[in-house]
Chain A
Amino acid sequence: MTRGTAHPWMANSTPETKTAMLEAIGAPSIEALFHQIPADHRLSRPLNLPPTLSAEVALKRHLVDLLKKNASAEDNLSFLGAGTYQHHVPAVCEEVARRAEWLMSVFGSPMSDHGRNQAWFEFCSLLGELIKTDCVGLPVYSWGAAIGHAIRMASRINGRREALVVKAMSPERLGVVKTNCEPPQMASHIAVTEVGYDPATGRLDMDDYRAKLSDAVAAVYFEVPSFLGVIETEGAEIARLAHEAGAEVIVGVDPSSLGILKAPPDYGADIVVGTLQPLGVPMNAGGGVGGFIATRDEERYAREYPTLMISITETIAGEYGFGLSLFHQTSYGMRDEGKDWTGNSVYMWAVVAAAYMGLLGPDGFRDLGHAIITRAHAAARRLDAIEGVRVVFPSGFFKEFVVNFDATGKTVAEINGALRARGIFGGKDLSAAFPELGESALYAVTEIHTEGDIARLAAVLEEVIR
């Protein structure tokens, strides 16, 4: 920026305007306005930052040049999932997300930001139908954050300080849960105990579960489908046993499965959590994640939510209105006495997810589920047919499956490196987090993958494992 040239983003950067405002307040200079900061607190030199790019033409060129150094899952064929998924993002979702009216909104009032508040309520309402719960909070940072808050809700409800969680869980999510449950040195620590999985099926190890369940357990957490892709079939029994022990049942779901898979309350879930990202949000290098917390509409649960809640109500003229409910129990209302904490989260993604669920409707979710499960199984069968390649849990999965390469004599890292050189992003390497699975990778297949994509993956795999 040339000195003296007004910056395009700052209307008051002309000398005339500054002078006019200074004269109006009777201050000798702008510097005088900073007099309350002691001199020895002040930075004694100008900031030393990279050259200014105040011309949009230069800024755009710079950003594009940098981003071009990335290789995207659009330019390559990707089978990465494990918590962030490559689903089709409907064009309507992008259009809705980029509307400046709500993209640039802050908080406003229920009347002046009525439309955005309605979209938030619609997000909760649409998701509520998909997961069959009457109470849905506004979104939280991520699936992992949702589990963490849900365990803490359960602990506040029954006063217990242990959570049983499935071992077959995303290391990223589990890391967040452990942070949220606090280290053992803290007086309010909640112990996180992992329950193993059956090596034959990938489902929860019921013997291990029974052995670990006790009347000290605040909550039991499992996922459908699990991190390893498997659809848990013992949900009702897991929930029955948990309830018998006085624990709350928390179930994590991928909503893209719920057109064809049972909703968690139908097998006993008390608190449902999960991810928003599959609902029309781009992967964004992991910046697409978002989470939700939902329960029955009972005060026992409602009064423990840390999130903001939006309720439908009416105006003095009888119109629909949408206002915050149970605000006082949040950290805004009660500071350190509030329920955990809340703040900015991923609310724009809630609007996107609402548009996505509105587009799909009941038949869209059914078709989406069919497309995913059919394509995923076709891919698994094809890979399993390759000599040296084995699908570890060959049935009962949804969109992800574990592929083992032990018999090839190659590591997943080697195989993925060779695939990458040929324009394919192989599945997530599980060998570090799940050593018992050997050289295995988690492959994700969604509605975007075609028969040709699967054939290409198989052909290239055959070549690189040789």
Chain B
Amino acid sequence: MTGLRRYHAAVWDEPVIMEMGAPGRRGILFPPFEPGLAGASEAGDLIPAGMAREDRPALPELSEPEVLRHFLHLSQETLGMAGISLFGTCTMKYNAPVSEQAAWRPQLAAIHPEQDEETLQGLLEILHEFDLILREVSGMDQFVFQAGGGAHAAYTHCAVTRAYFAAKGELERRDEIITTIQTHPCNAATAAAAGFKVITLMLEEDGYPSVEALKAAVSERTAALMINNPDDMGIYNPHIKQWVEIVHEAGGLCFYDHANFNGVMGKIRARELGFDACMYMLHKTFGAPKGGGGPAVGAYGCSDELAPFLPRPVVVKAGDRYRLDQDRPQSCGKIREYFGNVPQVVKAYAWARAMGAEGIDEASDISVLANNYMEKRLLAIRGITKSHPDNDVWRTEMTRYSFETLKEETGVGVLDVQNRMIDFGIDAFWLSHEPWIVPEPFTPEAGEMYGKEDLDTWIDVLAEISREAYTDPHTVKTAPHNQAIHQLKGDALEDPARWAMTWRAYRRKRAAAAPAAATISAG
């Protein structure tokens, strides 16, 4: 199609590192022992009998530039946000290098977590100041950053809930957590892993469960409600305050999973809606990079009533000094070692300061505007529909679409489209969390970083793929054609005889399969 830019991914045919190098090459040396240490006992004498390693680990032997070039090649074979990535539910943000620079300074990178508080004053000040920012944004009374991701913050809520009800002597009785089918799976999963029974409410026609369904689910066994709002379809549950009241009346706690905060930043505050706790993903909403899956932070905030039960330590300010308060007898204990992925907190603090109150509010304005702009254009493309079309509201920062029509009419499904869009330098879109409520789902999220032209390009690519689906489905179904590699053959991935999570396993299984293959080809 005319108008779309040419694109081809870097192709390096890079070997697996285990196949590279040559015997005797070295990528790094360690200094010789100084005179006073040179006379020390041989290292072998220092290892207790029977505990010395006898084999040589089968690691590759590479020079330093070979290692660097290998990983540069692999980084170049990663599209990520260099293209246009509108990965819904993940809120793709600009990750400013100024923040990254700050995080790699030795005054942060070369800090040990058990240093005396007097040597950590700058860091603790940042943690406290960012806590204050999140308190203002949410209305909560205290934040902690120990959770290593959004799911971990959901788990933190379960641990806090346990400690809260244990203190009241109600934990044995309150063993149920209520969530909804459109709430991120981590809420149901962490509730179960924390020992609770999970009740999942299904959607009704407007796109959310009814108040009646919630009323039927709550009881004296309810420990908590864990919920996203708006959900991944961009639909805001207008009865959410009533939901919170119903759960509170039953004695349960309410946790707001703010994964989808981008559409409501500066517009609502979790505490004012009645919630007892909430969480933000600093690696998403607050501008720290995702790194393909962390290091991440789930910032968990709660009311004064729950604060005694937070994991320890909590950063507190006393006079003009900051300290780590470990003496918290009602604390739920440790969620993770130390007090968080603090480089990510520093980056999030930098993002919040760079955006400011006006910028944060404007970012949600732009995200919602851009999503509705995209919706208008996307729904004009043949084969695309959206979820709950009768709920005729402007969606928030995301809309859940469906390629069901395209699939029925052309045989090209959403996974085929995903494989084809990367041929245009556009990162694969997010489909939907399990289970798929909408057939052949996809969920773009425009966010505030990409410009209108980028959004138009993204939409143009989908329009082109739709055209191809109706005229040349083979091209779509055999995609990608312009990528680092061709389409994966998925059949080995779930086969115990062929899956291989390491090179060791791969070599063993390949060797085991070789005679059989030889027999087949001979036959």
A window 357-398: CB within 8 A of B: 357-371, 373-375, 377-378, 395-396
A window 107-139: CB within 8 A of B: 107-116, 118-122, 124-130, 132-138
How many angstroms from the CA of A337 to the CA of B185 in the assembled complex?
10
Select the stretch in B118-126, B247-255, B401-409 that faces chain A: B118-126
Partner of A182, one of B14, B108, B194, B368: B194
Chain A residue numbers with a CB within 8 Å of B70 are: 358
Q: In the complex the two chains form, is B87's CB within 8 Å of A41's CB? A: no
Q: In the complex the two chains form, is A49's CB within 8 Å of B136's CB? A: yes
9 contacts between A and B (CB under 8 A): A42-B268, A43-B269, A49-B133, A73-B112, A84-B338, A109-B427, A122-B18, A335-B198, A428-B114
Q: In the complex the two chains form, is A311's CB within 8 Å of B80's CB? A: no
Q: In the complex the two chains form, is B189's CB within 8 Å of A340's CB? A: yes
Q: In the complex the two chains form, is A21's CB within 8 Å of B373's CB? A: yes
Complex A-B, nearest 7 residue pairs according to Cβ-Cβ distance, in ascending order: A52-B356, A286-B338, A115-B77, A286-B113, A175-B334, A343-B151, A105-B80
Chain A residue numbers with a CB within 8 Å of B12 are: 115
Q: In the complex the two chains form, is A287's CB within 8 Å of B450's CB? A: no
Partner of B291, one of A35, A105, A395: A105
Q: In the complex the two chains form, is A21's CB within 8 Å of B109's CB? A: no
Give A379's nearest chain B residue, CB to CB.
B37
Q: In the complex the two chains form, is A95's CB within 8 Å of B14's CB? A: no
B26-46 CB mask vs A (1 if < 8 Å, else 0) is 111111011111001101001
B window 345-374: CB within 8 A of A: 345-346, 350, 352-363, 365-366, 368-370, 372-373
Q: Is B433 an interface residue (CB 8 A)?
A: yes
Q: In the complex the two chains form, is A54's CB within 8 Å of B359's CB? A: yes
A282-B109, A287-B343, A334-B434 known; A260 and B189 CB under 8 Å?
A: no
A window 260-314: CB within 8 A of B: 260-263, 282-287, 289-290, 297, 299, 302, 308-314
Q: How far is the CB of B349 from chain A (nearest CB, A)?
A: 8
Chain A residue numbers with a CB within 8 Å of B64 are: 92, 359
Partner of A367, one of B16, B29, B449: B29
A window 39-64: CB within 8 A of B: 40-43, 46-54, 56, 59-60, 62-64
Q: In the complex the two chains form, is A10's CB within 8 Å of B295's CB? A: no
How many angstroms from the CA of A233 to the CA of B52 in the assembled complex?
10
Q: In the complex the two chains form, is A43's CB within 8 Å of B272's CB? A: yes
How many angstroms from the CA of A128 to the CA of B503 in the assembled complex?
8
Select the stretch in A25-33, A204-212, A244-252, A402-410 that faces chain B: A25-33
Q: Is A450 an interface residue (CB 8 A)?
A: yes
Give B101's nearest chain A residue, CB to CB.
A60
Q: In the complex the two chains form, is A373's CB within 8 Å of B366's CB? A: no
Q: Is B344 an interface residue (CB 8 A)?
A: yes
Q: How far is the CB of B319 from chain A (nearest CB, A)?
A: 15
Q: Is B411 an interface residue (CB 8 A)?
A: no
Q: Is B470 an interface residue (CB 8 A)?
A: no
Q: In the complex the two chains form, is B112's CB within 8 Å of A361's CB? A: no
Select the stretch in B211-219, B299-307, B460-468, B479-487 that faces chain A: B479-487
Q: In the complex the two chains form, is A365's CB within 8 Å of B394's CB? A: no
Chain A residue numbers with a CB within 8 Å of B338 are: 84, 172, 285-287, 289
B window 366-395: CB within 8 A of A: 366, 368-370, 372-373, 375-377, 393-394
Q: In the complex the two chains form, is B360's CB within 8 Å of A285's CB? A: no
A116-B292, A335-B185 known; A365 and B57 CB under 8 Å?
A: yes
Q: How far is the CB of A173 from chain B (nearest CB, A)?
A: 6
Chain A residue numbers with a CB within 8 Å of B370 are: 12, 21
Chain B residue numbers with a CB within 8 Å of A287 are: 295, 338, 340-345
Q: In the complex the two chains form, is B502's CB within 8 Å of A128's CB? A: yes
Chain A residue numbers with a CB within 8 Å of B51 are: 224, 231, 233, 235, 261-262
Give A118's nearest chain B residue, CB to CB.
B74
How many angstroms from the CA of A66 to the CA of B25 in the assembled complex?
43
Q: In the complex the two chains form, is B43's CB within 8 Å of A369's CB? A: yes
A98-B100, A134-B504 known; A358 and B62 CB under 8 Å?
A: yes
A84-B114, A96-B75, A283-B109 known; A70 and B121 CB under 8 Å?
A: yes
Q: In the complex the two chains form, is B92's CB within 8 Å of A130's CB? A: no
Q: Is B205 an interface residue (CB 8 A)?
A: no
Chain A residue numbers with a CB within 8 Å of B118 are: 71, 420
Q: How far is the CB of A252 from chain B (nearest CB, A)?
A: 13
Give A36's nearest chain B residue, CB to CB.
B393
Q: A53-B356, A111-B486, A361-B60 are in contact. List 10 more A-B contacts (CB 8 A).
A: A21-B373, A47-B360, A92-B27, A101-B75, A284-B109, A287-B295, A316-B478, A323-B490, A345-B149, A451-B34
Q: Is B47 an interface residue (CB 8 A)?
A: yes
Give B371's nearest chain A residue, CB to CB.
A33
Q: How far is the CB of A100 from chain B (nearest CB, A)?
A: 7
Q: In the complex the two chains form, is A331's CB within 8 Å of B189's CB? A: yes
Chain B residue numbers with a CB within 8 Å of A337 are: 192
Q: In the complex the two chains form, is B106's CB within 8 Å of A283's CB? A: no
Q: Is A349 an interface residue (CB 8 A)?
A: yes
Q: How far is the CB of B419 from chain A (nearest CB, A)?
A: 7
Q: In the complex the two chains form, is B369's CB within 8 Å of A22's CB? A: yes
Chain B residue numbers with a CB within 8 Å of A346 are: 148, 291, 293-296, 341
Chain B residue numbers with a CB within 8 Å of A188 are: 195
Q: In the complex the two chains form, is A59's CB within 8 Å of B369's CB? A: no
Q: Is A459 an interface residue (CB 8 A)?
A: no
A11-B451, A112-B422, A173-B337 known; A80 and B114 CB under 8 Å?
A: yes
Give A337's nearest chain B residue, CB to CB.
B192
How many angstroms from the CA of A128 to the CA of B266 in the assembled complex?
47
Chain B residue numbers with a CB within 8 Å of A167 are: none
Q: In the complex the two chains form, is A341's CB within 8 Å of B189's CB? A: yes
Q: How far is the CB of B503 from chain A (nearest CB, A)?
A: 4
Most chain A C-beta atoms within 10 Å of own C-beta, residue among B29, B121, B504: B504
Chain A residue numbers with a CB within 8 Å of B136 are: 47-49
Q: In the complex the two chains form, is A72's CB within 8 Å of B106's CB? A: yes
Q: How far is the CB of A314 from chain B (nearest CB, A)?
A: 6
How many angstroms from the CA of A452 to the CA of B31 in the assembled complex?
14
A138-161 CB mask vs B (1 if < 8 Å, else 0) is 100111110000001000000000
Chain A residue numbers with a CB within 8 Å of B166 are: 183, 185
Chain B residue numbers with a CB within 8 Å of A319 are: 13, 485-486
How many angstroms from the CA of A104 to the CA of B94 in the assembled complex?
8
Q: In the complex the two chains form, is B133's CB within 8 Å of A345's CB? A: no
B505-521 CB mask vs A (1 if < 8 Å, else 0) is 11010000000000000
Q: How far is the CB of A265 from chain B (nearest CB, A)?
A: 11
How many angstroms from the CA of A148 to the CA of B449 in the assembled complex?
38
Give A225's nearest chain B residue, CB to CB.
B51
Q: How far is the CB of B128 from chain A (nearest CB, A)?
A: 11
Q: How far is the CB of A286 from chain B (nearest CB, A)?
A: 3
Partner of A82, one of B111, B114, B125: B114
Q: Is A229 an interface residue (CB 8 A)?
A: no
Q: In the complex the two chains form, is A67's CB within 8 Å of B105's CB? A: yes
How many angstroms from the CA of A144 to the CA of B146 in the assembled complex?
13
Give A426's nearest chain B residue, CB to CB.
B116
A111-B487, A344-B150 known; A63 and B295 CB under 8 Å?
A: no
Q: Is B258 an interface residue (CB 8 A)?
A: no
Q: In the complex the two chains form, is A347's CB within 8 Å of B291's CB? A: yes
Q: In the complex the two chains form, is A60's CB within 8 Å of B189's CB? A: no
Q: In the complex the two chains form, is B137's CB within 8 Å of A47's CB? A: yes
Q: In the complex the two chains form, is A52's CB within 8 Å of B358's CB? A: yes
Q: Is B159 an interface residue (CB 8 A)?
A: yes
Chain A residue numbers with a CB within 8 Å of B439 are: none
Chain A residue numbers with a CB within 8 Å of B81 are: 100, 104-106
Q: How far is the CB of B296 from chain A (nearest CB, A)?
A: 4
A176-B336, A331-B151 known; A59 and B492 CB under 8 Å?
A: no
Q: How far is the CB of A218 from chain B (nearest CB, A)?
A: 16
Q: Is A463 an interface residue (CB 8 A)?
A: no
Q: Is B400 an interface residue (CB 8 A)?
A: no
Q: Is A3 an interface residue (CB 8 A)?
A: yes
How many angstroms from the CA of A339 to the CA of B357 in the assembled complex?
40
A window 1-35: CB within 8 A of B: 1, 3, 7, 9-13, 17-18, 20-22, 24-25, 27, 30, 32-35
Q: In the complex the two chains form, is B98's CB within 8 Å of A106's CB? A: no
